[in-house]
Structure 1
Amino acid sequence: MADHASLLKLAETEVSLEITKEQYGPVLTNPPFVYLDGTLNTRDLGLIPDSPLRAGFAYRSGLLSNITDNGRAVLEGKLGIKRVFDLRSQPEREKAPEPVFEGVETTWIPSTRPGSRLDLAMFASGGGEAGYEDMYLEVIEVYVPSWKAILEHVRDRPDEPFLVHCTAGRDRTGVFGGLLLTLAGASEETVTLDYLLSRVGTEPVRLMLLHLRASSWKAFTDGVQKKYGGFVQFAKQELGFSEEDLATIKKNATSPRS
């Protein structure tokens, strides 16, 4: 498994520059990434360097609609995933229907409202931090029912590995990754690394996506701190979890299973 420093160096490659297949190929086929044929940007949150999460429990990825038979066998068998959370919108699901997996429960919960149209002017200055802060703060707000269902799964079903995905596995899924890692006690550096790894995980579709920068993620987390008091307070105030619930979530997400 690559170390924190080497992964971070590759993940901080400017989006205007190509990461060659020779560079990203070995990374995407080794931890923390999971080679799930027909998917993109798939990784085990427990294998991020310095992650407090236990391996083999919480996975994240891009859409699953193009998964191959081999990928399906890995998801159902080797990974032992028992539940998939789909964060996509209804139009996205209609365009690329979610596969049905044997022995796997799929959960889709509509967002509380449709997402706003992006104001591209907000991405024009600096590294686009203002735009990302606004976009991600909206994501964390309108997907409250999904965040609650995912954390309830961690609290109540610790023996059932799960996967969360959107389309690219980057923005909405990135917010989920940051939330769970933070509640599990991850450092800011570890949370930021997980976010930035989508720069490598989405390299095959790089030209379709906007920039990924550490400063964009920091602008978002600063916004969460200002608006909610941080991820922990968000989980308490907006999702309704008690201190006891959060302690259970942290224990289930981090402690090895017997």
Structure 2
Amino acid sequence: MSTGPLNPETSTSLPSPPFVHLKGIPNFRDLGGYKVAGSDLIVRRGYAFRCGEPTSATPEAIETIRGLGINHIFDLRSLPEIQKMQVAGTGPKTVDWPGVTRVFTPVFREESYDPVSLAKRHADYQSEGSEGMVNAYRTILTEGANSYSIILRHILEDARRSKNTAETALIFHCTAGKDRTGVLGALLLSLCGVPDEVVAEEYNLTEAGLGEWTELLVQAVLKQGAASEEGARRMVGARKDSMINTLAMLRDEFGGPENYIVTKCGLTEAEVAEIRHFLVVGE
């Protein structure tokens, strides 16, 4: 089933930073540059990038990615999702870019969790409130801890190798770059001390970053059982209140980002402190 363009892009009309214009990859942006509450510090720029499904990247886009120093890409999609390619509709495909190592880190190994699949699974996902999204994100936090741990340990290795200078960079992505990617991005920003409202604004950038894919996703979600176009748009969207309430749930049920990483991802408090120290820098 083809539900998306073969050649999406991160548009030149989007602000840069944080977006990086790339043909063939939607929703590509830098997770850095956000201010840490109560300080003159920011999240390190040019280190962690997030995006949607990247396998249609043009040769020029790949060269741009390599020019950013990116040498690892963490794929959060499930195997069935890769095989179906529900958004791009191109059949099984993964990245194979010279000098860039792909690490398969599925949040759900045998279960698709893109917006189209969620339309089938979560009836409350299309409700007017944020409860459905928060429920989905609770599941991502619970099921994705092992995958997130792999990425966090990679960041820890970079922190120990690079000390005060980021010598390399990384990408993490799912299909739309909204849910599994968005939860991990929020976890990292919250760990660094970025205020909830700012984390939610960063999450909301996905609505612009998806560009023309938004309409294609809406139509795909409608075909998979959304009750209305309005409900489908809520499912595809990245509303700020969904992330605000997810962060509240992260604190209430998991003890906050640091405690989640320690108790669910298996890192020590000292290791979490190393990651935070590496990710938080002066302007």
Q: TM-score range by the shorter chain?
A: 0.7 to 0.9
Q: Which residue of 2 aligns with 1:69?
A: 59
Cα RMSD over matched residues? Answer: 2.1
Q: Which residue of 1 aligns with 2:124?
A: 122
Q: Which residue of 2 aligns with 1:85?
A: 74
For the 8 Å contact 1:32–1:48, the answer to whether it is kept is: no
Equivalent position SS for 2:77 = coil
Q: Which residue of 2 aligns with 1:19?
A: none
1:136 aligns with 2:123: no
Between Structure 1 and Structure 2, how many residues are aligned? 230
Relative distance call for 1:170 and 1:112 in structure 2 (3 A) is closer
1:27 aligns with 2:29: no
Alpha-carbon deviations, 1:212-247, whole Å to 9, x = none? 211111222222222211222101111122221111
Q: Which residue of 1 aligns with 2:257?
A: 231
Equivalent position SS for 2:56 = coil
1:176 aligns with 2:184: yes
* CA drift at 1:47: 3.3
Separation in 1, partners of 2:55, 2:109: 24
Separation in 1, partners of 2:149, 2:237: 28
Letter of the aligned partner of 1:100 in structure 2?
Answer: D
Alpha-carbon deviations, 1:16-75, whole Å to 9, x = none? xxxxxxxx75225x2100112210000011135768221111100111110001001111
> Which stretches in structure 1 are left out of the alignment for 5+ residues?
1-23
Aligned counterparts, 1:43-54, within 5 A: 43-48=29-34, 52-54=42-44
Relative distance call for 1:112 and 1:38 in structure 2 (3 A) is closer
Relative distance call for 1:226 and 1:26 in structure 2 (3 A) is same
The structure 1 residue matched to 2:207, chosen from 199, 207, 215, is 199
For the 8 Å contact 2:12–2:21, the answer to whether it is kept is: no
Relative distance call for 1:148 and 1:71 in structure 2 (3 A) is same
Separation in 2, partners of 1:72, 1:168: 19
Relative distance call for 1:111 and 1:196 in structure 2 (3 A) is closer
Separation in 1, partners of 2:47, 2:237: 29
- Segments ≥4 residues shifted beyond 4 Å: 48-51, 112-120
Q: Which residue of 2 aligns with 1:101?
A: 97
> Which stretches in structure 2 are left out of the alignment for 5+ residues?
1-10, 84-90, 160-166, 219-235
Letter of the aligned partner of 2:46 in structure 1?
Answer: G
Relative distance call for 1:52 and 1:39 in structure 2 (3 A) is same
- Per the normalisation by structure 1, the TM-score is 0.82
Q: Which residue of 1 aligns with 2:162?
A: none
Equivalent position SS for 2:32 = helix
Letter of the aligned partner of 2:172 in structure 1?
Answer: V
* CA drift at 1:149: 0.9
Equivalent position SS for 1:164 = strand
Taking only the aligned residue pairs, the percentage that are identical comes to 30
Relative distance call for 1:254 and 1:89 in structure 2 (3 A) is same
